[in-house]
Amino acid sequence: MFRKKRYRKKYKGIALIIAMLFVMVFSALSVAMFSMSSGNSLVASNLHRGNEARSSAESGLEVVRYYLAQAEIPGITPQSQWFEVLQSQLMGGGLPSGMYASLVEDGGVTTGITIGSSQSVTLGSNQSFAAEVSNSDDRINILVIGNAGDVERKIQGSFIYGEKPEPYSVFDFGVATKGPLSLSGNILLEGVNISVESDVYIESMEYNQTLEIIGNSQIAGDVKVVNPEGYVTLQGGQAGIGGETGVDAINNHVQIGAPQTQFPIPNTSYFEQYVNGITIDSSTDLSTITTLNNVRIAAGTNPSFTSDVQINGVLYVEQPNTVSFAGNVNITGIIVGDGDYTDNSRSNQITFNGTVSSSSVATLPESFGDLRDDTGTFIMAPGFAVSMGGNFGTLNGCIAANGVDFFGNAGGVIGGSVLNYSDQPMELSGNSDLFFNRTGNTEIPNGFEPVLNIVIKYDPSAYDEII
């Protein structure tokens, strides 16, 4: 009996096909994953360069902030010229080596400064920045462009003008002088109430010997010297400062390299409103004049008063002039010399050789009007050298001039400060004992315009990244 054979149908090659399908699928996945990885790497690279560019811009902003913070504009500069002064400081060495600055002009008018325009400021191998500083009405605007390779980012911000606070005022001292100070003979500078009323402030930037005390002269208060190279000389066993003599006086009561402060600008025109009396000129017979009520002395008169004189209100002296008082002078008012506070020539002079007595303008009759409220000033004479050689009881107010000398037996109480605007030596000689009474003087007297230097302050609220 025969059995029928059965044959199973075989599908040869199916495994190869399936394997190829898997290879294709995995290859596609690999390509996709590679594409995704490459894309992510590219995105990361772009993001990294973008962050580097923004970091360059922010670094540039910080660099510019630093150097603008170093700028200082003199307080006497008109506001319309503040940006011009800033330009000159940055263009004239205000930036370090390697940082380039150039002016931005529009139709021949300078509108700003570009830092790093012709050659960007390099921060790293592929990072740099350039900045443009421009002026608006009341602030300084800045645009910083940061680069990282071919990627750039922009940041804008602004700065405002502000006043630099002063460490102290010249009215905080008994004597404040731009030039060196010399005391010789038997000079005593003392406070009426406390010794600090006779403190001394000396700039003396042209002379390294800033203070010389010879003989038995003494300063009861302390001394601040601005000149960092300045030194003090004491000659004589009794020459002293702060109640001490010798090396101890210098070490304990003298500060060398003290912070500088600003002298206020004397505004003599403020007092011209009160000058409603006669005008003395070369045709005036001085022998007939014993009382001066709000009087003007015309320029070039050069009067010499030989008799006793009573001065009430304002005595307004025009420049050029040399005015001298040989007799006794009683002053219930203010002497004003209308000169230039930068003139140190001593060609204009006001000299008192006799005894001087003084009363406050507050004691004037009502007919003198608002002048009675202008207490605090005895002499305001910029551009004039003021010399006093006679005794005085109390001088009711400060003395401000370009050269202040006390000689002979001049001495008494000064109800304020002595301000010397001249950079030339100020000399006190003879037997001049000066007692300073500054108690209650908390405000700058009328007619003095305080000067605060202008500085640049960053305004963080104006920060903005330009997309």
Beta-carbon count within 10 A of 305 CB: 21
Residue 199 lies in a domain: yes
Which of 40-54, 163-177, 280-294, 446-460 has the weakest average pLDDT? 40-54
pLDDT band at residue 11 using 50, 70 and 90 as cut-offs: low
- Do both 179 and 260 map to the same domain? yes
Predicted local distance difference test score (pLDDT) of residue 9: 55
Q: What is the pLDDT of residues 340-376, one digit of tens each?
A: 999 999 999 999 998 998 999 999 999 999 999 999 9
Residue 1 lies in a domain: no
> CA 449, CA 263: separation in Å to the nearest integer?
9
Q: What is the pLDDT of residues 58-84, one digit of tens each?
A: 888 888 888 888 888 888 888 888 888
Q: Would you say 380 and 418 are in contact if contact means Cβ atoms under 8 Å apart?
A: no
- Do both 246 and 388 map to the same domain? yes
Average pLDDT of the chain, as a whole number: 87
Number of domains the chain is built from: 2
DSSP symbol at 18: H
Residue 24 lies in a domain: no
- Do both 252 and 132 map to the same domain? no
- Do both 255 and 158 map to the same domain? no
Burial of 90 (0-12, 13-18, 19+ CB in 10 A): buried
Residue 322 lies in a domain: yes
Most confident of 118-127, 152-161, 249-258, 452-461: 249-258
Q: Which domain holds residue 125?
A: 49-165+454-466
- Do both 355 and 219 map to the same domain? yes
Residue 31 lies in a domain: no
- In DSSP terms, which residues pair with 254 in a beta bridge? 223
Predicted local distance difference test score (pLDDT) of residue 295: 97
- Do both 134 and 253 map to the same domain? no
- Do both 174 and 290 map to the same domain? yes
Reference 370, options 395, 339, 334, 415; nearest CA is: 334
- Do both 118 and 208 map to the same domain? no
Beta-carbon count within 10 A of 70 CB: 12
Which of 88-97, 123-132, 226-235 has the weakest average pLDDT? 88-97
Question: What percentage of the chain exceeds 70 in pLDDT?
Answer: 87
Extract the runs of DSSP E, i.e. beta strands, from 178-287. Answer: 181-185, 188-191, 200-202, 209-215, 218-219, 223-225, 231-235, 240-241, 244-245, 254-256, 265-266, 279-280
Question: Cα separations (Å) of 124 from 119, 120, 128, 146?
Answer: 14, 11, 7, 12
- Do both 92 and 208 map to the same domain? no
Residue 33 lies in a domain: no
- Do both 273 and 412 map to the same domain? yes
Q: H/E element holding 19? A: helix 14-70
Residue 411 reports pLDDT greater than 80: yes
> CA 61, CA 46: separation in Å to the nearest integer?
22
Predicted local distance difference test score (pLDDT) of residue 420: 98
Predicted local distance difference test score (pLDDT) of residue 117: 45
Q: Which residue has the tokens 């990885």?
A: 37
Q: Would you say 264 and 444 are in contact if contact means Cβ atoms under 8 Å apart?
A: yes
Reference 113, options 132, 137, 92; nearest CA is: 132
> CA 401, CA 43: separation in Å to the nearest integer?
72
- Do both 141 and 212 map to the same domain? no
Q: What is the pLDDT of residues 118-168, one digit of tens each?
A: 455 666 667 888 888 888 878 888 888 888 888 888 999 999 999 888 888
Could you tell me which residue, 44 or 456, shows the higher pLDDT?
Answer: 456
Question: What percentage of the chain exceeds 90 in pLDDT?
Answer: 52
- Do both 423 and 320 map to the same domain? yes
Residue 426 lies in a domain: yes
Residue 44 lies in a domain: no
Extract the runs of DSSP E, i.e. beta strands, from 12-150. Answer: 72-73, 101-106, 109-115, 121-122, 127-135, 139-148
